[in-house]
Amino acid sequence: MRFRIGSLIIALAFSVLGLLAGCGSGAANSGSGTADSDIGTVNSDSETASNGNGAVNSDSGTANSGSGAANSGIGDSDEAGFAQDAVTQNEVDSSPEAAEATGETDRSGMDFNVDLSSIKTGSVNAVVSVHDPSIYKDNGYYIFGSHMTAAKSENLRTWEWVADGYVSDNKIYGGLYDAAEDAFRYAGRKTSHMPTDDGETHVWAPDVIYDKEMGKYLMYVSLSSTWNASEIAMLQCDTIDGKYEYVAPIVYSGVANADDIASTDIGGFVEPKEAEARYTVSGEYCFEKYPNAIDPTVFYDEDDRLWMVYGSWSGGIYLLELDPKTGLAIHPGSSVSESGVDAYYGKKLMGGGHKSIEGPYILYDEEAKAYYLFVSYGSLTAHGGYQIRVFKSDTVDGEYTDMNGKHPELEDQDHSPFGLKLSGNYRLPSLETAYMATGHNSAFIDDDGKRYVVYHTRFESKDEYHSPRAKQYFLNKEGWPCLLPYATNGETISENGYDTDEVVGRYYYINQGTSIDDEVAEPSIIYLTEDGKAVTEDGEGAWSMEPGSCYMSIQIGDAEYSGVFCKQVDEAGTPVMAFTAAGNNESVWGVKY
């Protein structure tokens, strides 16, 4: 912030008049950068083939993003100056006396230099490498992931392998090989009707649920051949960690002609000639309008109806109801008249035009009386801008909207402004390297009411290696998720709040912004003062804490964020005070040592 002192002429005039000081005031301007992102059309599936050690064989599309900075700051201000001899226009009087006279905070003892070298570093050793982890709790925490992987944990931090790799004796997924002729008939292998584009087997992004009526654990898994020719299949098992047996297909995508349609069950719900006219164009699948049948998530709504949300890039995110007696799809059929509902694919929730959106996960929160739809934007590679967004709705079938009451549509060329961005690329104190491409999450509410997001992350210094992470999140006063900065380590928020002296002080602060690119959100310094000011190197805002609770709010420039304070330990095990808050689809984090 520049303090503009009155010109020498005015100073001399005031001196002649015997005045001690001249006063000139100006307006505090807030300028923020723009987050412009243009995602190029990608003719490849968004998933990558990796094995259990995290190596990646990728024919995924690259998100071509032109991005700006998502910054929120306070601009120049004109403040009171004292008449002095030979003073220049750009000199700054930062003395305590000047601060007191102008109403500004005394910055003489503040250090805005970001130096992380003195902070102990560490890392969460997850042990396993599970891509697209889908969480389910049943006598422990299980995650099921792409490439026939699964792992178990007792603490959501350290995991042990349960299954890993494309082998016929895979403890969890071996049933696919037992029924390979049926299971991979349409897609997922080089011998399928739709052969895989690399000649390999593709089994991606599974999700597991216990069907209360069937008394079975059901797995819904993606069998994919190309970037839009895929199938979601259902498997079942009597135990959470046993061999799942193939049952039936749920939904197909990627049909390009009558022969492809005849290889699916589409004709049972849409007359074949009508299906060809609707789902194909110029001998290709109408992928910009209709979904890629991968990335399923299955869940119960508040009335115990069973649903599956799915989709990746292509025509966006879709919702299908399932029959809880069989686990199979209830396709709307040709009699459907509701706008936005397809007779075969179900209801479209958002997206389309082959822009990046995938990994949908819907969670009903009974306390909030709301449904939360998590998705991932960007390309999943380390520098692809992969990130987690969230929308919410009062009803299971939408509409799902963000903090601004909107969601991405097919015609939206730039979808970066839509959805609350929970996590992207970032660097924090104690991390050995920046975390990159945090995405494809699942979520759950534990028995004690704690809420968690589980996802995979890549790293700035480790190429395409990836590792699962679990973080606790809270709902702010407005009901929006606020993700804690560090991996969960048993922290419990204080429902009665914290003393002022516990929360005031110097914080390492980051803003996740809304861009879709490989830029890393780097920490800056912000001071929360006892008199309610939020002081950055560039200006001042304000903060407040609701008495007797953990809720807080912070205003920086023109931006306002609502969230919570919570004590955590960082990844080196050092105790910190943290805040996490959301506003205008941005997430901000602060960490104080």
Per-residue pLDDT tens over the stretch 221-236: 999 999 999 999 999 9
Residue 136 pLDDT class (50, 70, 90 cuts):
very high
Query: Percent of the chain at pLDDT above 70?
Result: 82
CA-CA distance, 142 to 209, in Å (whole number)? 11
10 Å CB burial of residue 292 (0-12, 13-18, 19+) is buried
Catalytic machinery residues: 132, 358
Confidence check: pLDDT of 5 > 80: no
Q: What is the mean pLDDT of the chain?
A: 87
CA-nearest of 346, 300, 349 to 327 is 300
Is the pLDDT reported for residue 555 higher than 80?
A: yes
| pLDDT tens digits, 440-486 | 999 999 999 999 999 999 999 899 999 999 999 999 999 999 999 99
Q: Are 566 and 489 in contact (CB under 8 A)?
A: no
Q: How far apart are CA 68 and CA 576, in angstroms?
A: 31
Q: For residues 584 and 287, give the distance between their C-alpha atoms in angstroms, rounded to a whole number.
A: 31
pLDDT digits (tens, 9 = 90+) for 331-386: 998 766 678 999 999 999 999 999 999 999 999 999 999 999 999 999 999 999 99
Confidence of residue 8 (pLDDT cuts 50, 70, 90): very low
Q: How confident is the model at residue 105 (pLDDT cuts 50, 70, 90)?
A: confident
C-beta separation of 530 from 545 below 8 A? no
63 secondary structure, DSSP code: -
Percent of the chain, pLDDT > 90?
80
Q: Cβ–Cβ contacts within 10 Å for residue 333, how many?
A: 11
E strands in 311-357: 317-322, 329-330, 341-342, 346-350
As a whole number, mean pLDDT of residues 36-48 equals 37
Give the sign of the dihedral formed by CA 226, CA 229, CA 231, CA 232: positive
d(CA 479, CA 563): 10
Query: What mean pLDDT do residues 59-87 have?
Result: 35
> Each residue of 120-130: b (16+ CB within 10 Å) or e?
eeeebebebbb
Distance (Å, rounded) from C-alpha 328 to C-alpha 306?
10
- What pLDDT was estimated at residue 96? 52
Q: How much helix, strand and coil, in percent to the nearest 5, is found in the chain?
A: 10, 35, 55
Cα–Cα distance measured from residue 198 to residue 36, given in angstroms and rounded to the nearest whole number? 34
pLDDT of 284 above 50: yes
The predicted pLDDT at position 232 comes to: 99
pLDDT tens readout for residues 371-395: 999 999 999 999 999 999 999 999 9
How confident is the model over 259-287, as a mean pLDDT? Answer: 97
Task: List, for residues 560-588, the tens digit of each pLDDT value.
Answer: 999 999 999 999 999 999 999 999 999 99
The amino acid sitting at 435 is Y
- pLDDT average, residue stretch 532-542: 97
Overall average pLDDT of the 160-178 stretch? 98
- Reply yes or no on whether the pLDDT at 62 is more than 80: no
What's the 3-state SS for 102-159? HCCCCCCCCCCCCCCCCCCCECCCCCCCCCCCEEEECCCEEEEECCCEEEEECCCCCE
Tokens 């109801």 sit on residue: 321
- Sign of the Cα torsion 138, 222, 45, 377 reads negative
Confirm if 129 and 50 have CB atoms less than 8 A apart. yes
- Give the closest residue to 562 by CA, choosing from 539, 541, 538, 587: 587
Which residue in this structure is represented by tokens 């890629």? 292
Residue closest to 438 by CA, chosen among 370, 322, 518: 518
Main-chain phi, psi angles of 527, to 5 degrees: -105, 130
Query: Is beta strand 297-300 parallel, antiparallel or unpaired with respect to 306-310?
Result: antiparallel
Dist. CA 379–CA 426, nearest whole Å? 16
Q: In this model, does residue 324 exceed pLDDT 60?
A: yes
Which of 5 and 409 is assigned the larger pLDDT? 409
